């Protein structure tokens, strides 16, 4: 089930990206020969106005836009990409990432306005139990209310957390309410060196607070900008080796992360999709051959030189870059699988 969700999310983000290229190409008068959802054999096709073929193909992993004039052999097409002014071509290439960024803001807005902003509740109800933790071993479940810790009544989460901390690493008694019944549980907290405190492995109950229209728009913008900065800093960290390269996640790792987000609920899934969209937007803008950022670099060089780079040389650079990306893709996928198998 989660693999299907991951495929749909990947496809959605890539189609949105290609839709950005498509819409701006149409706006500046470039002939779009085909707008395809998916790859492989064509399942359905429709020829719309302007001789654009809209097609649905067998493999739903994204899509593509085929524009006139992108191939050097099509140099004679008047309304081709290569015949348009530099600013129009720059706008078309950058539109994919812009569309991903705008979509991310919309997904944040949708989450905050219809589902809400997650906030920890101060109630004494358990929101989640960490697998393998002392709480899980003692049989505690999400939804249980801890009404007493070592004989002292609790009114809120602060009372629960304070009682557990006071017990140290000795065995403590919890009085728990579940489905209207009370029972006692014995549990021994563990010391967490990262938090410098004892824990039994329970999480607060999360409540979702819906936001008004303007507040949701504001938060959507703030989240998009915040995650953009975070991703840029991470990319800089990879270059400076401040962030280990083995922390990069590929399709397998992202699919697992999507599954984790889906288990947490629609709010987390929509938010994670928005963050993936920002990732896609920024990575595509990197000056790496075969990506949009490389094409933008060639356009900037053209603007500085006053004439375009030889199309055959440019295509050769993109071809080499694509081959390198495929090798990196395989390496990252291998690392993803090994992390999952080894529990890393």
Question: Residue 99: what pLDDT?
Answer: 95
Question: Residue 217: what pLDDT?
Answer: 93
Residue 242 and residue 103 share a domain: yes
Which string of DSSP letters, residue by residue, matches 258-308? HHHHHHH-HHHHHHHHHHHHHHHHHHHTS--TTSHHHHHHHHHHHHHHTSP
The domain of 100 spans 2-116+214-342
* Catalytic site positions: 18
| CA–CA gap between residue 207 and residue 139 (Å, rounded) | 24
Residue 324 and residue 223 share a domain: yes
Q: Please enumerate, as own/partner, the contacts of 8-12 that have beta carbons within 8 Å and a separation of 24 or more.
A: 8/60, 9/258, 9/273, 9/276, 10/61, 10/62, 10/251, 11/37, 11/38, 11/60, 11/61, 11/62, 11/63, 12/273
Residue 317 and residue 222 share a domain: yes
CB 39 within 8 A of CB 18: no
Residue at which a domain ends, from 149, 175, 206: 206
Q: Please enumerate, as own/partner, the contacts of 189-196 that have beta carbons within 8 Å and a separation of 24 or more.
A: 189/134, 189/164, 190/133, 190/134
Residue 336 and residue 223 share a domain: yes
| CA–CA gap between residue 288 and residue 229 (Å, rounded) | 20
Residue 231 and residue 112 share a domain: yes
Residue at which a domain ends, from 183, 206, 229: 206
Give the Cβ contact number of residue 238 at 10 Å. 14
Question: Number of structural domains, the chain?
Answer: 2
| Structure tokens, 23 | 């819409």
Residue 219 and residue 332 share a domain: yes
β-partners of residue 128 are 203
Question: Residue 246: what pLDDT?
Answer: 60
Residue 110 and residue 189 share a domain: no
Residue 180 and residue 220 share a domain: no
Residue 226 and residue 290 share a domain: yes
Q: What CATH number is associated with residue 142?
A: 2.30.42.10
Residue 230 and residue 171 share a domain: no
| Ranges of H-type helices in the chain | 2-27, 86-110, 134-137, 157-167, 213-240, 251-264, 266-284, 292-305, 311-342
Q: List the pLDDT tens digit at each of the 344 positions of the chain.
A: 667 888 788 888 888 999 999 999 999 999 898 898 887 888 888 887 778 888 988 877 678 898 888 776 666 678 888 888 999 999 999 999 999 999 999 999 999 999 999 888 888 888 888 888 888 888 888 888 999 988 889 999 999 888 888 878 888 888 999 988 888 889 888 888 877 888 888 888 888 889 999 999 999 999 999 989 888 887 787 677 665 656 666 555 666 677 777 777 888 889 989 998 998 898 889 888 778 888 898 899 888 888 877 777 777 777 777 677 667 666 666 565 665 555 55
CB 183 within 8 A of CB 201: no
Residue 306 and residue 247 share a domain: yes
Residue at which a domain ends, from 206, 229, 254: 206
């Amino acid at each position: 089930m989660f693999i299907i969700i991951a495929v749909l999310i990947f496809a959605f983000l890539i189609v949105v990206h290609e839709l950005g290229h498509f819409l701006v190409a149409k706006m500046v008068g470039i002939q779009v020969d085909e707008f395809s959802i998916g790859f492989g054999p064509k399942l359905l096709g429709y020829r719309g106005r302007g001789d654009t073929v809209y097609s649905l193909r067998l493999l739903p992993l994204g899509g593509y836009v085929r524009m006139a004039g992108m191939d050097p052999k099509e140099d004679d097409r008047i309304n081709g990409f290569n015949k348009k002014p530099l600013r129009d071509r720059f706008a078309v290439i950058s539109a994919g990432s812009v569309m991903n960024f705008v979509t991310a803001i919309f997904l944040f807005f949708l989450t905050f306005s219809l589902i809400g902003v997650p906030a920890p509740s101060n109630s004494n109800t358990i929101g989640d139990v960490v697998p393998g933790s002392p709480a899980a071993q003692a049989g505690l479940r999400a939804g249980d209310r801890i009404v007493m810790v070592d004989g002292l009544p609790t009114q809120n989460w602060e009372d629960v957390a304070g009682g557990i901390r006071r017990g140290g690493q000795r065995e403590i008694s919890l009085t728990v309410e579940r489905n209207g019944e009370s029972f006692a549980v014995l549990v021994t907290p563990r010391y967490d060196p990262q938090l410098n405190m004892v824990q039994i492995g329970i999480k607060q109950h999360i409540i979702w607070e819906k936001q008004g229209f303007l507040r949701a728009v504001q938060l959507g913008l703030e989240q998009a900008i915040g995650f953009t900065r975070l991703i840029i800093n991470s990319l800089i960290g990879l270059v400076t080796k401040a962030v280990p390269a083995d922390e990069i996640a590929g399709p397998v790792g992202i699919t697992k992360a999507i599954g984790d987000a889906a288990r947490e609920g629609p709010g987390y899934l929509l938010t994670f999709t928005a963050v993936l969209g920002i990732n896609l937007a920024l990575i595509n803008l990197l000056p790496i051959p075969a990506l949009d950022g490389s094409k933008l670099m060639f356009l900037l060089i053209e603007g500085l030189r006053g004439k375009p780079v030889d199309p055959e040389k440019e295509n050769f650079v993109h071809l080499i870059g694509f081959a390198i990306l495929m090798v990196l893709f395989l390496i990252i996928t291998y690392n993803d699988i090994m992390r999952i198998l080894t529990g890393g």
